[in-house]
Chain A
Amino acid sequence: MYVSLRDRPGGAGNRTTAQRVAKTVLLLGVVSLLTDVSSEMVSSVLPLYLTAQVGLGFIAYGFIDGMYQGVSALVRIAGGYAGDRGNNPKWVAAAGYGLSALSRLAMLPAHGLTAITAVITADRLGKGLRTAPRDALIAGASAPGMVGRSFGVHRALDTAGAAIGPLVAFALLAAVPGSYGSVFTASFAFAVVGVAVLILFVPNQRVTTGPHPRLSHLVRAVAGPRLRRPLVAAALLGVLTVGDGFLYLSLQKRDLLASALFPLLYVGTNVAYLCLAVPLGRLADRVGRARVLIGGHLALIAVYLAAATPFAGPATTVVVLVLLGTFYAATDGVLAAMVSQLVPAEARGSGIAAAQTVVAVARFASSVAFGGLWAVAGPQQALLLMAVLLAVAVPVAAWLLHGADEPASGEVA
């Protein structure tokens, strides 16, 4: 196919020799970097734009923010399925990136609540649509022994973009104070270049030459025995994953520094994620993706314990942020890498989408449940309880994930 042969392992023995990550993966990383610069530019100025410039109250803001978070999980499955079904992941991903790019431009004339909500919904639809087929492309372009590293490289580039975006927006608003139009226009420019890189340089991967895979085949691949146990494990761990917001809030309640720097806490997590994504991806290739995934959740237990410690201070805050970054680096790309190897190549997008949706839905359920727990028992007790539950769940998940590191029998080279 289009996959660069150089990146294929010559044999089982050359794992130690330096291998380069496939060009496709780097290109997709660049696409994600540009797109994340674009989207983080907008989301970093959105609260102030909506309240100070457009004059919306905070309920309206909360409503929009809710849309922002919620919409993308819904279409993710559709994106994964569409990419597999049409055997055309590149163009489904391109449609998603394109839709998000256009939404930046649409921010310019949108001044009312309804219009802005529609624009942001379009952006999130685009994000949901593109994620699974893009991850399928990453997996397809990588040798089975390098998938973890490829996802690590991609997520590192992606996170770098997310860090650069607010800087660009800040620089623009410093140069042209109050000109949110300039931010939207520049954001559109970044997004368009990202889409151009994708369309012009990323090869499409047609994994089958035969007829389009049928729905029943894809459902069998996703719900089949190879993926069932890992999906149950992902759901179990996802339900016990407390949202960042709660963790930051628990730090903020007891550490004055964290309180003053509240908006910057997520930057700390991102820096740790950025630094660890590639090393942990490589580790996953070497010792097994399931193991690293489990290890990430051990880090999460430590996060809960650190965030619940009564002697919270700046040191605790730093420890929590680093461990949280470790958790993301050990789980986000690694899960996609693991799942991509458990399904036949022609069902990769659907499989990855299924896993990501399971995690998203489980975390949503977790947020609702944890919110109640937090109110009844208080942050400290609630976090300790979650730590205990997660400590019980991790061995169960490890058992469920046993054997998940062997590649699918139907793997196409």
Chain B
Amino acid sequence: MSSRLRLVALLAVIVVAVAGATVYILRARGQQAAAKAAPGPARTDLASVVAQPHLVFRNTALGQGYGKVAVVPLAAPDGPRALTPTSCERVYASTRQALCLAANRGLKTTYTARILGPEWSPTADLPLPGLPSRARLSRDGSLAATTTFVYGDSYSTPGQFSTRTLITRSTGQQVAELEQFRFAVDGRTVGAADRNFWGVTFAATGDGDTFYATGASGGKTWLVKGSVSKRTLTALREDVECPSLSPDGTRIAFKKHGDLPAGRWRLAVYDLATGEETVLSESRSVDDQAEWLDDNTVLYGLSRTGESGAATSDVWAVPADGTGTPRVFVRDAWSPAVVRS
């Protein structure tokens, strides 16, 4: 090929590449503008929803209000939703306040955790050293727990994940970093470098001390019971991730890895008193910290490819006793939190 011909060929490639990418980007922009202009799902008044038992979640419906925290009454979850003015990647709520993990998108995206007051405005900023993953508040809202994935924080294998789980007062004062607690499995202290903790759920008693979480080391995971005052974590049962305590405090809903391929989990429920484990009828892989709708039903998020090809998600509900079939609880929603009173 002559050098002139090559130059022409390169120019042709550049023109096609630039034109192709431009067309795609302009189309995406156009679709987005159309989606933005679209009203989105039916809306209702925020104050009236918050006044009754309701579900707080991240709205993932395309259109106005994508990514905003939304609420629906528990009595009519598939009805109109009310949007708050706040955007979060992950949200949790108690009666008086909410915990919001938000991304500040930029050249290098950073993350913040905020306690939101009654008007959904920030009342305190909490430290958040990485990619937001799990958020929980104690029932009375006095304690907040966040789990983040920390970049470069790979203790034993390059690239392997490492988590940082913090418990903070809702005023913003840090109470505990779980990585610093004493971690015991079968009475023996685990000091291995690869220990990680994530997915806190606070005890129903609201004593501001007891909580459950996931502990991991050497490729195994455990349900751990923690004490803030004693700074201890005690393993109760193997193969439990992202525990969530039932409202009556008797059972834990969790992700069970079992012998599934890497990155896949089944939802299950563990009875703290009897030690009995029940695998729920949701057969798809769930990677979420479950939430209890009531003492008989578990809620969780599942991702889905939307009509336009974009990724979205729904909140599903399934009976906690292993019977029945899963059903969509709220469409285009993520990160559910039930506020009962």
Which residues of A does B touch, CB under 8 Å?
Answer: 44, 47-48, 51-63, 65-70, 109, 111, 113-114, 117, 166-167, 170, 172-173, 175-179, 181-182, 185-186, 188-190, 192-193, 196-197, 200-201, 243-246, 248-249, 252, 259, 262-264, 267, 363-364, 367-368, 371-372, 374-376
Contact = CB atoms under 8 A, between A and B. Distances in A.
Interface stretch (B10-18, B46-54, B201-209, B269-277): B10-18
A331 B159 CA distance: 22
Contacts of B110: 263
B154 interface: yes
Contacts, number: 188
Interface in B190-245: 191-194, 198, 241-242
24 contacts: A47-B151, A56-B287, A57-B287, A59-B287, A61-B161, A62-B160, A63-B263, A66-B158, A69-B158, A166-B107, A172-B25, A176-B32, A178-B32, A189-B17, A190-B17, A192-B13, A244-B152, A249-B152, A263-B110, A263-B151, A367-B158, A371-B157, A371-B193, A374-B193
Query: Which 10 pairs show the lowest CB-CB distances between chains A and B?
Result: A62-B161, A245-B152, A375-B193, A55-B303, A69-B159, A58-B149, A189-B17, A263-B108, A189-B21, A196-B13
B25 A167 contact: no
B17 A192 contact: yes
Given A55-B313, A111-B303, A193-B14, A65 B161 contact: yes
B67 to A, nearest CB: 8
Nearest to A252: B129
Given A62-B149, A185-B21, A368 B10 contact: no
B206 to A, nearest CB: 27
Nearest to A260: B110
B188 interface: no
Given A375-B191, A375-B192, 18 more contacts: A44-B108, A47-B149, A52-B103, A57-B242, A58-B163, A60-B263, A69-B158, A111-B311, A166-B107, A178-B66, A179-B29, A189-B21, A200-B9, A245-B151, A263-B151, A267-B108, A364-B158, A374-B155
Given A48-B105, A55-B287, A57-B133, A179 B25 contact: yes
Nearest to B30: A176
A54 B149 contact: no
B105 to A, nearest CB: 7
B276 to A, nearest CB: 26
B262 interface: yes
B152 A248 contact: yes
A171 to B, nearest CB: 10
A55 B25 contact: no
A61 B131 contact: yes
A375 B192 CA distance: 7
Contact of B301 (A55, A60, A196, A363): A55
Interface residues of B, number: 66
A196 B191 CA distance: 53
Residue among A58, A172, A196, A263 facing the most chain B CB atoms (10 A cut-off)? A58
B156 to A, nearest CB: 4
B109 A48 contact: yes
A263 B32 CA distance: 29
B180 interface: no
Interface in B1-50: 1, 6, 9-10, 13-14, 17-18, 20-21, 24-25, 28-29, 32
A56 B198 CA distance: 15
Contacts of A376: 193
A245 B287 contact: no
Given A48-B103, A374-B193, A179 B14 contact: no
Nearest to B301: A55
Interface in B138-195: 147-149, 151-163, 191-194
Nearest to A45: B109
Nearest to A167: B107
A58 B21 CA distance: 31
Contacts of B132: 51
